[in-house]
Chain A
């Protein structure tokens, strides 16, 4: 996934 544009935490 592209860095900084992907947040997998809630």
Chain B
């Protein structure tokens, strides 16, 4: 465990905590995309199937359970909680997220580290995670007056991705046989999506105008 990996996991954890804080204390999920949250719930469910087959460390097991539990409970709150669900921007959150799943599944069947059920599901989860933020970015673009918690949530997620890239570079140079092309390529695609978004986000913040992404 290197410092980049730990910092990456912690920013990921904080991003989830910020979201849960917003939902629990303010009882609001305004500006949060249910489509993205559903994709994350699927991402963690399909990636952590090895929870039952492989023990890595107590840290690893606990973090997996936290990400599984939090992503599923966020979806539950947004869909079913009688107060929280009323703040959901349903009409703005129109991204057809299920259309992302089929190409990711096909890609996972074609490109995987090993053609087994767990490995295909693992590759699928990485491809899906790379694009899972898209509905959230589209919703942010449409929403006026992004509140602080939503902005911090996306900022923390972006930091988590960037730190993971640093972690891979560090591991590549310090560990023997540490080569994971699928993780790297899908991770870099994901990080670029955030970088592109943040570029426009900071531009609009600097110029103090409403965020407007190019078509």
Contact = CB atoms under 8 A, between A and B. Distances in A.
Interface of A: 3-10
B114 A4 contact: yes
Nearest to B64: A10
Given A3-B177, A4-B119, A9 B114 contact: no
Contact of A10 (B12, B114, B118, B122): B12
Contacts of B56: 6, 8
Interface string B24-65: 000000000000000000000000001000101100100110
Nearest to B9: A10
A7 B92 CA distance: 37
B22 interface: no
Leading 3 A-B pairs by shortest Cβ distance: A4-B113, A8-B56, A4-B114
Interface string B59-88: 010011001000000000000000000000
| Residue among A4, A5, A6, A7 having the largest count of chain B Cβ atoms under 10 Å | A7
Interface residues of B, number: 21
B183 interface: yes
A7 to B, nearest CB: 6
B60 A8 contact: yes
B5 interface: yes
A3 B178 CA distance: 10
A7 B9 CA distance: 15
Interface in B115-130: 116, 118-119, 122
A10 B6 CA distance: 11
| Residue among A5, A6, A10 having the largest count of chain B Cβ atoms under 10 Å | A10
A1 B203 CA distance: 46
Contact of A9 (B5, B119, B177): B5
B50 A7 contact: yes
Contacts of B64: 10
Contacts of B113: 4-5
B63 A10 contact: yes
